[in-house]
Chains A and B, each alone.
Chain A
């Protein structure tokens, strides 16, 4: 298995909703990442998890809350989002923080209404 799987593929949520994005990999990778991407722009790093511990938070607003329940799973909990948070949210993993084998999922397209 050489994939990163993200669910759901599309999500529409209101500004008062709480939702979660999920990411799963079975490549034995020990580093996992959340990125945010606006249309025709490069992805922007949000969070880095290394060996299930949060190692980097790129000053992301607290309405985004990451969670790494185990070495294969990464969640992003969403609460009280704004319309400008609408974007493609990409999960990625790599063997470790050496960045070998950096693989992205197909993303969750989030629309905040």
Chain B
């Protein structure tokens, strides 16, 4: 069945870049999303990329998509302590579903 995978933890120092990786299995996924979730909060949409794009940049965020390898990454430049959260990658599949990865817990050390 459809699956999305992410590494569970990432630890970086403040000011460094963070790269969170994600792989997915459904080659027909049209939209790929990145969400941020802080403790006790809902899901905040960070950015998304359409499947016919290979890169999208939005301020400190850069999304790279390798459709051939079904690999998606989120780069956060100049990572701050406020970026500490769980980051979910999600891929759309037919029928209105989003399939989520397990989430990557980003820890930013001062």
Contact = CB atoms under 8 A, between A and B. Distances in A.
Interface of A: 6, 31, 33, 40-43, 45, 48, 50, 55-56, 88, 90, 92, 94, 97-100, 102-107, 109
A94 B35 CA distance: 15
A45 B101 contact: no
Nearest to A104: B43
Contact of B86 (A40, A48, A97): A40
Interface residues of B, number: 24
B33 interface: yes
A43 B43 contact: yes
Given A45-B97, A106-B41, 15 more contacts: A6-B42, A33-B96, A41-B102, A42-B88, A43-B43, A43-B88, A45-B98, A55-B95, A55-B96, A99-B30, A102-B45, A102-B98, A104-B43, A105-B42, A107-B41
Summarize A's interface: helix, strand, loop or mixed: strand
B30 A98 contact: yes
Nearest to B96: A97
Contacts of A88: 42
B96 A48 contact: yes
B45 to A, nearest CB: 6
A26 B84 CA distance: 31
B85 to A, nearest CB: 11
A99 B29 CA distance: 10
